[in-house]
């Protein structure tokens, strides 16, 4: 009975999970582009100024931005791993919710799992 309630919860709130999935999808496209653009601008300015301190600062800034971008990609994986670590929660319990977050275009908003 508990398993059916969880699936009903995920199906009932599918619109919210689909919205979260769409937002994460947009972030996964926009953040790498911003990292590349701002990294090129910062490193370009530093190289044109030809100051070693500014080049090091721009390289460190680019590394931090790249790390932040990677973290965005691993948030769904990390959350799924944490759910599996909690005793009493199996992958079947949150699979419909996870599917809507990871693949928002294939999320059944009105259908049941």
Q: What number is the average pLDDT over the span 19-32?
A: 86
In whole angstroms, how far apart are CA 63 and each of 30, 38, 43, 56, 84? 17, 11, 12, 11, 31
Tokens of residue 64, six digits: 């931090």
Q: Is the pLDDT of residue 1 over 50?
A: no
Mean pLDDT score, 94-112: 74
Tokens read off for 77 = 């994986």
pLDDT of 7 higher than 70: no
Task: Provide the token pair at 38.
Answer: 């701002």
Q: Is the pLDDT of residue 106 over 70?
A: yes
Which has the closest alpha carbon to 103: 18, 15, 5, 11? 18
What tens digit of pLDDT does each residue of 44-102 get? 888 898 888 888 998 898 888 888 888 877 887 787 777 677 766 666 667 777 778 87
């Amino acid at each position: 009975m508990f398993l059916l309630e969880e699936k009903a919860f995920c199906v009932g709130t599918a619109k919210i999970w689909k919205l979260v999935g769409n937002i994460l999808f947009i972030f996964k496209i926009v953040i790498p582009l911003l990292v590349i653009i701002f990294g090129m601008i910062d490193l370009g300015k530093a190289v044109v100024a030809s100051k070693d301190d500014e080049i090091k600062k721009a390289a460190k800034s680019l590394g931090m931005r790249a790390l932040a971008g990677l973290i965005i990609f691993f948030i769904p994986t990390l959350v799924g791993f944490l759910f599996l670590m909690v005793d009493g929660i199996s992958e079947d319990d949150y699979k419909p919710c996870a599917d809507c977050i990871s693949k928002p275009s294939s999320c059944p908003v009105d259908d049941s799992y």
